[in-house]
Chain A
């Protein structure tokens, strides 16, 4: 009988090691919220291998599809973190990410009736959270184009503020501005300029 318990003990031991080594919620949220892309990249790398193999095994999809699902999953995870949408911290980060992945997989397959994720599909996927219809997609792409015309640092300020939910303080720091007030004024000017470009572009 003793032999049967040895692998279980080993498994338990490894689980304990993994749990103690992996990130905990509070430090992760702090890092992802205040840090730059590196922090999210670390999350991406941490669960990548296991997630993609799990996706391929459990949902019988190709490696490229599994990677697409994972990237979408990480984006949703990121958005939930920065928007304070995570309601329970009882489950592990891994469990949480895998749960998002499961839903992502079903959303992506249900909406497309196929699992061929081309560039166009990616655009649709990117916007699917806000239920943006096809005709609105043109408008969004118009704004995107206008943002490129606008260029940095305006583009960056607007993205940091509206998408990444950075505070004016963080934006000022990141862009080397004098103070949050300067950042706030700059953000307004940039938005105004973007509006003018969009009007010129007929968006």
Chain B
């Protein structure tokens, strides 16, 4: 992968001048390259990684569930059409087609446990081509998108060494 993309994947807020200096490029070149990536759909967006465990108590903590879904592929469209029906629901934050025991893996987020249950019972399970679901509620996040949620490992090095 392009180094510019690697840096942006690590830190979506990296400034243009810093990216330019780090990659030994002109700032204009960086701006243009980012625009190209955005226009041709390589860069799909910029988001913030939030450690929800760390939210204060007065803020409600959303509930996340990973849901395995078995579906029946269709003659013309395979899995794609059914997947679209499912991922169009706003509760579905991610949707992947997987190899293995199930076909789709969803990451579903809702305000509370009930809402997730509602989604499965009312939206997902009744779908014509969905014949099995299995939900796993997340209890704790240790790491997300390369970011460690525990404070970083301690630095054992001497502060000054020759």
Instruction: State yes or no: do A and B come from one complex.
Output: no
Hey, which bits of chain B sit against chain A, CB under 8 A?
Answer: none
